[in-house]
């Protein structure tokens, strides 16, 4: 039996969000700036979670950049309603500078974006670790947090390589897949890429009646 009370569901979502922010910022400290976010599957709402976290940090005065490095299925333009023809790939190829492609948010002074750019028939050969490292080094001094949105990383070489060269990696997983071989494979591939895995963010968790009672002290359904 599960409750559907709107106010409780909203409170749970908010509390989970604040817990995520607190734990993430506590672990990051001052030395971990470039953070990659990947997933064990496509349906985790990863990009929206990243955007909400970035907005909240920007509200507190932190300078935050979100880089759309999902070269398979980009979601950042959809959740921000923004886009730009040139972006991350064009920087990596050496055709454009960071200042050429960066976009500032209209509502948050300390939030900026870099989109993927034109990704057409890209090849792994130009996605070399040293180039990615240099890019991370160039951008880290300009922001307090650089959040890099990746594609799900299983058998995706560039996603694992991007994660392995960043300061840290976070994995999103649906609750029903969190103890699944798919998620374990995601973690194994990140470990093989020498990624510094901060942890897993579980999405789509459905609270049972007794868990809600513990959180909110019971009460009648409305």
pLDDT at 222 over 50: no
- Interval 83-107: pLDDT, tens: 898 999 889 888 899 999 999 999 9
Residue 49 banded pLDDT, cuts 50, 70, 90 = confident
Identify the CATH number of the domain in which residue 72 sits. 3.40.50.300
Which pLDDT band holds residue 72 (cuts at 50, 70, 90)?
A: confident
- Start-end of H helices in the chain: 6-28, 46-59, 76-80, 88-92, 98-101, 129-140, 157-164, 181-192, 209-216
| 1 found inside a domain | no
CA 149 to chain centre: 5
Within-domain flag for 221: no
Q: Is 222 among the domain residues? A: no
Q: What is the pLDDT of residues 188-218, one digit of tens each?
A: 999 999 999 988 887 765 545 554 455 455 5
> In terms of residue numbers, what domain contains 11?
6-216
Q: Count up the domains in the chain and report the number.
A: 1
Predicted local distance difference test score (pLDDT) of residue 18 = 63
Note the pTM of the prediction, 2 decimals.
Answer: 0.82
Q: Is the pLDDT of residue 16 over 90?
A: no
CB atoms closer than 10 angstroms to residue 211: 14
In a domain, residue 71? The reply is yes
58 vs 118 pLDDT, higher one:
58
């Amino acid at each position: 039996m599960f409750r559907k009370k709107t106010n409780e569901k909203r409170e749970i979502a908010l509390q989970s969000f604040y817990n995520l922010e607190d734990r993430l910022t506590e672990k990051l400290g001052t030395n971990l700036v470039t953070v990659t976010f990947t997933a064990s599957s496509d349906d985790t709402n990863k990009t929206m979670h990243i955007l909400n976290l970035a907005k909240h940090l920007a509200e507190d005065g932190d300078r935050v950049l979100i880089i759309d490095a999902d070269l398979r299925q980009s979601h950042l333009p959809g959740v921000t309603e923004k886009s730009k023809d040139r972006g991350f790939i064009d920087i990596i190829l050496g055709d454009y500078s960071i200042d050429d492609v960066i976009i500032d948010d209209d509502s948050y002074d300390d939030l900026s974006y870099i989109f993927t750019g034109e990704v057409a028939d890209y090849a792994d050969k130009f996605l070399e670790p040293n180039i990615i490292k240099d890019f991370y080094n160039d951008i880290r001094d300009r922001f307090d947090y650089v959040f890099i949105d990746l594609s799900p990383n299983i058998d995706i070489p560039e996603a694992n390589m991007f994660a392995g060269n960043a300061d840290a990696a976070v994995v999103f997983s649906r609750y029903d897949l969190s103890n699944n071989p798919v998620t374990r494979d995601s973690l194994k591939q990140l470990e093989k890429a020498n990624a510094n895995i901060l942890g897993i963010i579980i999405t789509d968790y459905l609270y049972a009646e007794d868990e809600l009672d513990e959180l909110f002290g019971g009460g009648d359904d409305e």
